[in-house]
Amino acid sequence: MGKVVGIDLGTTNSLVAYVRDGAPVVIRDKSGDALVPSVVSVDEDGTSYVGREAVRRLSTDAARTVYSVKRFMGKGVDDVQGEARLLPFAVRGEAGGVVRIGLGGKEFTPPELSSIILRELKRRAEAHFAAEGEFDFEVDRAVITVPAYFNDAQRTATRDAGRIAGLDVLRIINEPTAASLAYGLDKRHTGVIAVYDFGGGTFDISILRVEDGVFQVLATNGDTHLGGDEFDALLVQRELARCGDAMLSAEQIQDIRKAVIHAKIDLSDGERTTLLGRDFTRVEFEAIIRPIVDRTLAPCRQALADAGLKPSEVDEVVLVGGSTRIPLVRRLVGELFGRTPHSELNPDEVVALGAAVQADILMTGNREMLLLDVTPLSLGIETMGGVVSKIILRNSTIPATGSEMFTTGVEHQTAVDIHVLQGERELVQDNRSLARFTLRGIPPMPAGMPRVQVQFQIDANGILSVTATELRTALEQTVEVKPSYGLTDEEVERMLIDSFEHAETDFAARLLIEAKNDAESVVQATEKTFRLPMFAEIAAEDLAPGEQKRIEQALIGLKHVMQSSNRDAILQWTKVLNDATRHLAEVVMNRSVKEALAGKNVEQI
């Protein structure tokens, strides 16, 4: 028996959590990071890199590095034309088929790329359990979250990604539902919950109703291109404008980006910080980003209107997503709904925590109330004249079943086409086509004689299977509805085998990644020290002549070798920088202690 985890597979960041002694906890790496950037890079030789390591390759190997894969899950080429034009990597695929992303001479489907992220999370969790001394540390099952608006194709693609990563996906659940679960809001008898999710590249608002453990999505709205990235881009532009027309390398721009993100994050906690050597205050920052934050409010009002609710009828507001750490965001959301939003849990961890809670409920059956969701769109089949006959109505609590009887319209008809559709409109052409299949082998009978029963079944993940049975002959055919933009079972199987074949190169890559991550930690710590307000004083008073220069050279050396794949060189230079900064670190430490003590003395007087 392996372990079960909850996974938030995000557009910008992904993470994994599990329930320990009855409470959900996120799994962190050695340096305390829970978030794995949802970035994947694939080398010419097929070696893959994930997370922070892949982020580093964004500036050195952009054409082989992909981000925001979640945007392509369950999509066809035609769906993503506009999006693809703006991206540095190649988005391809046959018309009417699955999207394929070209990286280093090889093509990958979105579920395959997502599976690389999931495999990293699985590995992290296994390393964690092994380090805890667990004998049985293999992670083989997971609950994975998706946005509430994800359709059948996008959910299936997510489940496929899990399977390719070697995970049995127990359940796909909605992100806002997961966030509500993390706060235990399913224990309310009844109530309305607004989940405001402001992440890296997307904004989602969901209005949910919970009633006796059943979560119903009343309305969703949002903007698929509105998130923290926008703040970063705006701040970078401002800095570039300050540089005049100076030509900057991709790497220099990347450094500016890093600096503005640092400043942004600092200002979520403090009133002021330094940005590229200048003073930067929260007041200035808020004035810059205010128009972007304001753009989240209209979708909130629209979602409320769609749900037929006034802001005052919302009982709980939940904040999700890293960008809700910004005080201005919290303030404006609080004003809109007229109540203080929940923010006791880390907003970028809360979805994974909820997924872990759901995984635990599934495993232990510990909670009497079963958590249920509803299907967001009606499902039906095409009947005569291009009309849709609905078999399961929207907002049905899942798992759900429905069936209807049909017959033939032509004499001696031996086959019937079943065309499965999703949507609310009356005409076939206005709904989304999910699948087509044919029930064959009906013995010739007069028109109207055969009795064909079409049965729909939506499982707990919101994934549909359809059975057609001719009752007079007991002829039956079942399809698990593979959305038009989905992978076949054989493809998923082959991808799983492929991933095993790469296990060895991936192991070498892992050692390299670990070396680079350690190097990155030292680089960041050093750069942070340089930015300290007290640094100028330290440099003047405590450092030996040439000491700062030595550190700077070690820093440049390490940053240079970090671009390469030479692990030995990286280890060596990490040591050089570590040695060069040892004295500086002591000085900083002593000064901080002194300052703290001085503060105490003042209080005591």
Interface with ligand ADP, residue 120, by CB under 6 A: no
Cβ-based burial of 406 (10 A; exposed 0-12, middle 13-18, buried ≥19): middle
Q: The tokens of 84 are what?
A: 């693809």
> In the window 334-373, what residues touch ligand ADP (CB under 6 A)?
348
Among 60, 68, 252, 268, binds ligand ADP (CB under 6 A): 268
8 A C-beta contact, residue 451 and residue 472: yes
Residue found under tokens 């199987």? 493
H-helix or E-strand spanning residue 126:
helix 110-131
Stretch that binds Mg ion, among 6-14, 20-28, 116-124, 470-478 (CB under 5 A): 6-14
Q: Is 561 in the site for ligand ADP (CB under 6 A)?
A: no
> Which residues touch 121 (CB under 8 Å, ≥6 apart)?
5, 7, 14, 15, 16, 36
Closest CA to 280 of 260, 254, 294, 256: 260
If the CB atoms of residues 228 and 341 are measured against ligand ADP, the closer one turns out to be: 228
The answer to whether 201 contacts ligand ADP (rule: CB under 6 A) is: yes
Q: Phi, psi (5° rounding) for residue 393?
A: -85, 155
* Beta sheet of 416-422, edge-to-edge order: 387-392, 379-383, 416-422, 432-439
70 is catalytic: yes
Catalytic residue check, 537: no
> x/- contact string, 183-212, with Mg ion (CB under 5 A)?
----------------x-------------
Which one among 76, 147, 176, 200 touches ligand ADP, defined by CB under 6 A?
Answer: 200
CB 78 within 8 A of CB 95: yes
What CA–CA distance (Å, rounded) separates 172 from 458?
Answer: 12
User: Quick check: 261 binds ligand ADP (CB under 6 A)?
Assistant: yes
- Closest separation in Å from C-beta 225 to Mg ion: 15
Contact 40, 78 (CB under 8 A): no
Burial class (CB in 10 A: 0-12, 13-18, 19+), 250: exposed
Residues 21-80 that bind ligand ADP (CB under 6 A): 35
Cα Rg, the chain, nearest whole Å: 27
Check residue 98 and report its DSSP letter: B
Identified catalytic residue from 152, 175, 266, 506: 175
Any contact of residue 264 with ligand ADP (CB under 6 A)?
A: yes
Q: Is 516 considered catalytic here?
A: no
Nearer to ligand ADP, 14 or 457 (CB): 14
528 has catalytic annotation: no
Binding mask 483-502 for Mg ion (x = CB under 5 A): --------------------
326 binds ligand ADP (CB under 6 A): yes
- The reply to whether 323 sits near ligand ADP by the rule CB under 6 A is yes
Choose the catalytic residue: 112, 197, 349, 382. Answer: 197
Minimum CB distance to ligand ADP, residue 111 (Å): 17
Among 6, 10, 93, 147, binds Mg ion (CB under 5 A): 10
3-state secondary structure labels for all residues of 570-603: HHHHHHHHHHHHHHHHHHHHHHHHHHHHHHHHHH
Position among 120, 126, 186, 229 found at the interface with ligand ADP (CB under 6 A): 229
Positions annotated as catalytic residues are 8, 70, 175, 197
- The residue ranges that bind ligand ADP (CB under 6 A) are 10-13, 35, 199-202, 227-229, 261, 264-265, 268, 321-323, 325-326, 348
- The residue ranges that bind Mg ion (CB under 5 A) are 10, 199
